[in-house]
A and B are shown apart, each in its own frame.
Chain A
């Protein structure tokens, strides 16, 4: 059995031991945490990195010349280098720390959009987008008189590339596309989209909130202009994220927010701005969480992304097969190219009831519209139940989910 071999190779049980929260109980049952697409749990190394910073070298960075400031600055910048490697960027100047994917997209929409969009210009997004990759564009489009075009999907939740090609015209100035759908787990053909968009003269942002933890990311190979992801979905802390931007594009963009750190010189006659990446990092950043993010990225790299992906794919295949056995259950987004996310509905049962009754069995899944209301409208459903797997999940936990769902069905029959 490849499953067993991989479980042993990755030593899933020793990985689980690195996550303190996985040992707690919920409603008297062992926690089965299957809501990793919302946020992943944190290994001890991440928690310790936070504690070590606050107990050992808490200081404001980049300005102080005392020892603590130097140590904190070094640790902070070490994460920037680590994040650069993690996504294959060519320079740390292209790595901007944000609060998360949402802020990264808002930064680009606001800064790039305000400087470049003209009335009648078009921005292309897709039906699969999270609200975070819809609303910032709607806001800037309303301000600048730009128009948003939406790439349709198939009933299975697949991006229709031919439709994208038709929408892509000389009017298209920007394409902002989710790499992996948070609601369904389907992977979009981002490379093809990026190349086609560039040929048409448009820039591309890839929302990597879901992809960054599952797929190998190389922004130079992808050739995207922007790539945004969140720390808390890659086993790191909340409140920190990374925005990659190509140097030439970032240099031409005005700052997003004004304040300390982002300036070179301030006078009442005018202000000059700092170099990249600091131009986009106004104010004291989230030092502790940035520092701890390195521990999370090192954790992933240490295990090996390819190995993790293979293991998670086995969990996905197993869960898909087992869930399909449940009468009345239908998987939404049952496509060939997916990450370890299974979204499903059960005939005659509201997702909220599934969520409540699974929670009482200690099983955490996400239910609802997953902040993708337009996608749910397109699919004609109020929401789904979503189980999403991380490296620490096991076959036993999927069995618990399946058993739990049979119980839900019985209780509501």
Chain B
């Protein structure tokens, strides 16, 4: 558990991976591939209270807290969104709440995926990050009490 890389280290890794691609097709195929590799979320978790509201696709997310670290699991009915969640889980899962809350997420811009952060109603990435950070805050406050 102690050798989980830090958030900036994982972000750097992802930026490096994406830098190998020089066209959008490869980038998105990589993202889609990440989506396909996302560990399954049990159907029992796919309920209303675990939904993150986006206009077009549905995202379910749950988190648990173990030994001072947060672990996320999620799924979506849309593949690209699934890829984006998979990437976020890679960055955040297994990290300490304070570090998750503090993460600036600049790497999303660096890999050319910032269009998914645009504030259109179709977008889920912004709400996913927000929900992950909110979960981290909740776990952090429970820890204090």
> Of the candidates A27, A350, A355, A367, which one forms a contact with B79 in the assembled complex, judged by CB atoms under 8 Å apart?
A350
Q: Is the CB of A350 within 8 A of B57?
A: yes
B64 within 8 A of A: no
B56 touches A412 (CB 8 A): no
The interface stretch among B21-29, B92-100, B101-109, B128-136 is B21-29
A352 touches B32 (CB 8 A): no
Q: Does B9 contact A (CB under 8 A)?
A: no
Residue of B at shortest CB range from A356?
A: B80
Q: Within residues 372 to 413 of chain A, which ones have a CB less than 8 A from any CB in chain B?
A: 382-383, 407, 411-412
Complex contact B24–A360 (CB within 8 A): yes
A352-B81 contact given A367-B122, A368-B55, CB 8 Å threshold: yes
User: Which residue, B28, B29, B56, B122, has most C-beta atoms of chain A within 10 A?
Assistant: B56
Chain A residues near B55 (CB-CB < 8 A): 368-369
Instruction: Give chain B residues whose Cβ lies under 8 Å from the Cβ of A353.
Output: 78-80
Q: Does B77 contact A (CB under 8 A)?
A: yes
What's the Cα separation between A67 and B49 when bound, in Å?
62
**Interface presence of A357 (CB below 8 A):** yes
Q: In the complex, A382 Cα to B77 Cα: how many Å?
A: 10
B31 to chain A, nearest CB (A): 10
On whether A352 and B57 interact (CB within 8 A), knowing A382-B77, A412-B79, the answer reads yes
Q: Which residues of A contact B80 (CB under 8 A)?
A: 352-353, 356-357
Complex: chain B residue closest to A413, CB-CB: B32
In the complex, per-residue mask of A10-43: 1 if CB is within 8 Å of any chain B CB, else 0: 0000000000000000010000000000000000
Q: Which B residues are in CB contact (< 8 Å) with A351?
A: 56
Of A383, A407, A411, which contacts B32 at CB under 8 A? Answer: A411
Interface residues of B, count at CB 8 A: 15
Give the distance in Å from the alpha carbon of A383 to the alpha carbon of B55 in the complex. 10
In the docked arrangement, what's the CA distance between A257 and B60, Å?
Answer: 43
With a cutoff of 8 Å between Cβ atoms, the chain B residues found around residue A352 in the complex are: 56-57, 78, 80-81, 122
B77–chain A nearest beta-carbon distance, Å:
6
Q: Across the interface, name the chain B residue whose C-beta is closest to A350.
A: B78
Across the interface, which residues of B come within 8 angstroms of A411, CB to CB?
25, 28-29, 32
A residues less than 8 Å from B57 (CB atoms): 350, 352, 382
In chain B, positions 29-65 with a C-beta closer than 8 Å to chain A are: 29, 32, 55-58
CA distance A355 to B121 in the complex (A): 13
Q: In whole angstroms, what is the CA distance A351 to B57 when docked?
A: 8
Contact B78 A368 (CB under 8 A): no
- How far apart are A30's CB and chain B's nearest CB, in angstroms? 15
B68 vs chain A, min Cβ distance (A): 36
CB distance from B45 to the nearest CB of A (A): 19
Instruction: Give the distance in Å from the alpha carbon of A352 to the alpha carbon of B76 in the complex.
Output: 11
Q: B24, A27: Cβ atoms under 8 Å?
A: yes
Bound Cα distance from A349 to B77, whole angstroms: 9
B28 touches A360 (CB 8 A): yes
Residue of B nearest to A351 (CB): B56
Among B24, B77, B122, point to the contact of A368 (Cβ < 8 A): B122
Chain A residues with Cβ below 8 Å from B29 are: 411
CB < 8 Å neighbour of B28 from A350, A355, A357, A383: A357
- How far in angstroms is the closest Cβ of chain B from A354? 10
- Chain B, Cβ-Cβ closest to A28: B24
Q: With a CB–CB cut-off of 8 A, which chain A residues contact B32?
A: 411-412
Residues of A within 8 A of B (CB): 27, 349-353, 355-357, 360, 367-369, 382-383, 407, 411-412
| B interface list, Cβ under 8 A from A | 24-25, 28-29, 32, 55-58, 77-81, 122
Q: List 28 A-B contacts (CB under 8 A).
A: A27-B24, A349-B79, A350-B56, A350-B57, A350-B79, A350-B81, A352-B57, A352-B80, A352-B122, A353-B78, A355-B56, A355-B122, A356-B80, A357-B28, A360-B24, A360-B28, A367-B122, A368-B55, A368-B122, A369-B55, A382-B56, A383-B56, A407-B25, A411-B25, A411-B29, A411-B32, A412-B32, A412-B79
